Structures are given as structure tokens and as C-alpha cells.
């Protein structure tokens, strides 16, 4: 150490404490984001001092037109946050109705999750933060102080596909301690999803727990399979490892999934205490899962007494293989003639599949199929599908 350096260090040591403290960056204040306020408004905060623009994108904001692989559709709205002198960007919403909401940020055009919130869902290759506003519909989506069922991930062997595949299974409260047999709801995910989607993004296990506890639904087993036959398990859970997820893996809508579905039913009925009659089986799905539901239920036309199509992708496929998609009119007519306790169709008014569902209902009308139809606001979004499940499940069994 030379003389000049020693003098500088000595000067630092004898500086008044207040002056020295100004030179040391203080720990940033703890940021709580999102913050649910007493009036049900929500405050968002993001520290990004170098950013020029920060946008909040969320489904509680007025929808915007966006370009998707399906053309122009309504998407979540956005708003620019305000930046203070410390580089903290903030925004407070108006009071929100009870619901589960998703959101993310665009920081200078780059999509980022909120680093202050660990509550995220993955849908396809995107990650979305979530929060709930209690006091209404969202109460079905929360882990309330009620008896809870169990959720497990298990593997079944599919002789048709010649591979082991992963399932998510919900068993109702008391299943382990009873000898009772239960009815089964097979709940199918959409494109971009996997066997975890309904339990995570769809809050299916919370919904069924809360409906059973309120006496609005009968205790049931819910089976949530992987609808992508090219996979043995969802991304990060199967042999493909941590590959980047794709929206629609190959062979997901070509008939193989529907043709193999008896393998799922056989495994469930051998492994769990379930009732094995038509009146104890229900099947429902959203989007691609609605497409699968429609075809599975007519292909095995006397297997399910309850069918639910949530924003179903009831559209022809150019990559169809095998017999599953053939004789559609004939098999739908057989399904109608055999009779069902409930054929339930729901879709949002601005859903890009709305016109296809109108055409499908006209086809059912011409065949004499009795069904119930629910038309909601908004489009092809999880908000609708969660609501549909809360309405459909109480109608079962």
C-alpha cells in the first residue's frame, strides 16, 4: 500500500457515519406484488430502473385484438405502468370481481413473469402469474377449510400405443378409509396442456373438493390423462425431459388418442374402486379435449352417460387416421338413440370456435340428439373453462 492509498482509506474511516452511509446502497424495500387491497383492487409493482416501458398484460383488462395461429382473436388487455424516481413501476386496478386472474409484464417488449410472485402456471411454453379475488366465483378455486381429496400422478400401460403413460388422478375425501366405489369423470386437457393442466391451471381438484363439501356434487374420482399420444408424460415429467413444449405435438388429433382410450378406462377400473356402469362414467374436455371428448364418446357410443364439451374444437382434421373419425353421422345417431343423461355444450360468444360449435349443434339437431347449451361471455380462455367445470360437475351422477 503506497502513501496516497493509505491517506484515501484513512479519510474514508474518519468520514462522519451519515456521509459514509450515503455511499452504500441500501437494501431495496420488500416489494409485494400483486397486492390485494381491501376494496378488491390490486396493486402491481416491478423494479426495472433501466427499462423505458413496462406494460402489465392481464385478463382483467379490456381485451385487445391479437394475431394468433388461428387468426385475429381477442386477447388479454394491457396498460403502461408508471415509473417513479427509483425505477419502480406501479399500477393499481379498479376493484375486481371474484375470479382467478392471470398476468405478466412486457418490459421493453420482452415478456417476463413477476419476480415478486412465485405463483405461476405453465401453459404450453409460456409462464403466467396468477392471483385470486375471494368472495365469489374464485372461492371454488381456493384451498378452503374443507375435507380434501388426494391427487396422485401414476403410470398406466397402453397396449394399443405400446408404452407406459402418465395420469393425474383425484380421489375424493375419505376414499382411502372407505370401501365405497365411486363414479368417474375423465377430464381432458386442450392443446398446449398435459396431464397436469386441469389440476394446475384448471383448479379442478379445488373445484371438486369445494363442490363436494357444499353438497353440490357427489364424491367422484377425476382422471386427467395426457392427450398427446406422442408423449409418455408431459414436458419435464416424461422421457422427453426438459424440451421446449410445443403447442400441438404430432399425432395429438389424428385419432390415435381416441382409439387407445379404452386402455385408460381399463387401467382405472382395475386400479381404483370405481363403478363400472355407463351411468357412473362421465367425460369432458376443453378445446382439443372437447374434440377428443366428442369423438371418444361417440366411438364408444354406449360407454358414457355424461358428456361435456367445453369450447370444443369440433372441426375436421386433415391428418385423421384409422376408423375413429369415419362414420361420424352414424355413430352420433347411435349415441343419440342409446340415450344419455346429459350432453352438455358450452362456449364463449367471442370464441374463435363459436361458429364451428353452431354448425355442430345443427348437426346434432338433425340427428335428434338432446343436449343442453350454455353460452357465456368472452372467448377461448381458462376463466370460462373453470366456470364450466363448476356448472357441469354438479350435474353428474
Q: Which H, E and C letters describe the chain, residue by residue?
A: CCHHHHHHHHHHHHCCHHHHHHHCCCCCCCCCCCEECCCCCEEEEEECCCCCCEEEEECCCCCEEEEECCEEEEECEEEECEECCCCEEEEECCCCCCEEEEEEEEECCEEECCCCCCCEEEECCEEEEEEEECCCHHHHHCCCCCCCCEEEEEEEEECCCCEEEEEEEEECCCCCCCCCCECEEEEECCCCCCCCHHHHCCCHHHHHHHHHHCCCCCCCEEEEECCCCCCCCCCCCCCCCCCCCCCCCCCCCCCHHHHHHHHHHHHHHHHCCECCCHHHEEEEEECHHHHHHHHHHHHCCCCCCEEEEECCCCCCCCCCCCCCCCCHHHHHHHHHHHCCCEEEEEEECCCCCHHHHHHHHHHHHHHCCCCEEEEECCCCCHHHHHHHHHHHHHHCC
Q: Is the pLDDT reported for residue 10 higher than 90? A: no
Helix axis angle, 328-338 relative to 288-299, nearest 10°?
70
pLDDT at position 248: 85
Please indicate whether residue 87 or residue 125 has the higher confidence score (pLDDT): 87
Average pLDDT, stretch 84-110?
A: 97
Q: Is the pLDDT reported for residue 8 higher than 50? A: no
How would residue 315 be classed by pLDDT, with cut points 50, 70 and 90? confident
Tens-digit pLDDT profile for residues 137-152: 999 999 999 999 999 9
pLDDT at position 287: 97
Average pLDDT, stretch 17-42?
A: 72
Average pLDDT, stretch 327-354?
A: 94
pLDDT at position 55: 98
CB within 8 A of 120, min separation 6: which ones?
Answer: 113, 127, 128, 129, 130
The rounded percent of the chain whose pLDDT value lies above 70 is 89
Kindly state the cell numbers that stand for 230. Answer: 406422442
Average pLDDT, stretch 115-129?
A: 88
The reported pTM is 0.89
Average pLDDT, stretch 358-385?
A: 96
CB 327 within 8 A of CB 299: no
Tens-digit pLDDT profile for residues 355-365: 999 999 999 99
pLDDT at position 72: 67
Q: Is the pLDDT reported for residue 200 higher than 70? A: yes
In the chain, the domains with their CATH numbers are: 35-135 (2.60.40.10), 145-395 (3.40.50.1820)
Average the pLDDT over each of 75-84, 238-247, 368-377 and give the range with the smallest value: 238-247
Kindly state the cell numbers that stand for 41. Answer: 383492487
Enumerate the β-bridge partners of residue 310.
Answer: 286, 346
How would residue 29 be classed by pLDDT, with cut points 50, 70 and 90? low
Amino acid at each position: 500500500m503506497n502513501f496516497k492509498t493509505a491517506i484515501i482509506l484513512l479519510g474514508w474511516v474518519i468520514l462522519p457515519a451519515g456521509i459514509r452511509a450515503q455511499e452504500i446502497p441500501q437494501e431495496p424495500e420488500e416489494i409485494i406484488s400483486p397486492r390485494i387491497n381491501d376494496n378488491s383492487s390490486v396493486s402491481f409493482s416491478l423494479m426495472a430502473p433501466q427499462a423505458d416501458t413496462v406494460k402489465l398484460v392481464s385478463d382483467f383488462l379490456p381485451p385487445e385484438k391479437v394475431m394468433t395461429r388461428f387468426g385475429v382473436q381477442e386477447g388479454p388487455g394491457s396498460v403502461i405502468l408508471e415509473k417513479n424516481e427509483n425505477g419502480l413501476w406501479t399500477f393499481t386496478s379498479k376493484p375486481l370481481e371474484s375470479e382467478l386472474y392471470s398476468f405478466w409484464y412486457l418490459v421493453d417488449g420482452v415478456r417476463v413473469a413477476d419476480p415478486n410472485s412465485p405463483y405461476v402456471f405453465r401453459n404450453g411454453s409460456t409462464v403466467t402469474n396468477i392471483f385470486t379475488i375471494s368472495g365469489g366465483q374464485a372461492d371454488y378455486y381456493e384451498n378452503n377449510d374443507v375435507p380434501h381429496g388426494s391427487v396422485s400422478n401414476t403410470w398406466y400401460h397402453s397396449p394399443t400405443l405400446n408404452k407406459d403413460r402418465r395420469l393425474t388422478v383425484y380421489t375424493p375425501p375419505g376414499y382411502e378409509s372407505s370401501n365405497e366405489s365411486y363414479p368417474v369423470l375423465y377430464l381432458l386437457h386442450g392443446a398446449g396442456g398435459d396431464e397436469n393442466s386441469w389440476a394446475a391451471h384448471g383448479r379442478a381438484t379445488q373445484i371438486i373438493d369445494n363442490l363436494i363439501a357444499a353438497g353440490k356434487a357427489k364424491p367422484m374420482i377425476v382422471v386427467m390423462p395426457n392427450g398427446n399420444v406422442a408423449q409418455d408424460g408431459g414436458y419435464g415429467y416424461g422421457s422427453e425431459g426438459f424440451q421446449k413444449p410445443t403447442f400441438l405435438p404430432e399425432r395429438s388429433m389424428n385419432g390415435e388418442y381416441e382409439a387407445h382410450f379404452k386402455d385408460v378406462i381399463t387401467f382405472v377400473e382395475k386400479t381404483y374402486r370405481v363403478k363400472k356402469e355407463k351411468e357412473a362414467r362421465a367425460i369432458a374436455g376443453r378445446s382439443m379435449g372437447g374434440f377428443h371428448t366428442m369423438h371418444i364418446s361417440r366411438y364408444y357410443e354406449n360407454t358414457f352417460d355424461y358428456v361435456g364439451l367445453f369450447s370444443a374444437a369440433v372441426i375436421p382434421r386433415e391428418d385423421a387416421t384409422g376408423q375413429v373419425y369415419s362414420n361420424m353421422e352414424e355413430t352420433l345417431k347411435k349415441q343419440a338413440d342409446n340415450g344419455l343423461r346429459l350432453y352438455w355444450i358450452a362456449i364463449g360468444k367471442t370464441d374463435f370456435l363459436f361458429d364451428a360449435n353452431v354448425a355442430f349443434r345443427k348437426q346434432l339437431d338433425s340427428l335428434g340428439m338432446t343436449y343442453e347449451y350454455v353460452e357465456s361471455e368472452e372467448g377461448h380462455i381458462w376463466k370460462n373453462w373453470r366456470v364450466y367445470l363448476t356448472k357441469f360437475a354438479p350435474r353428474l351422477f
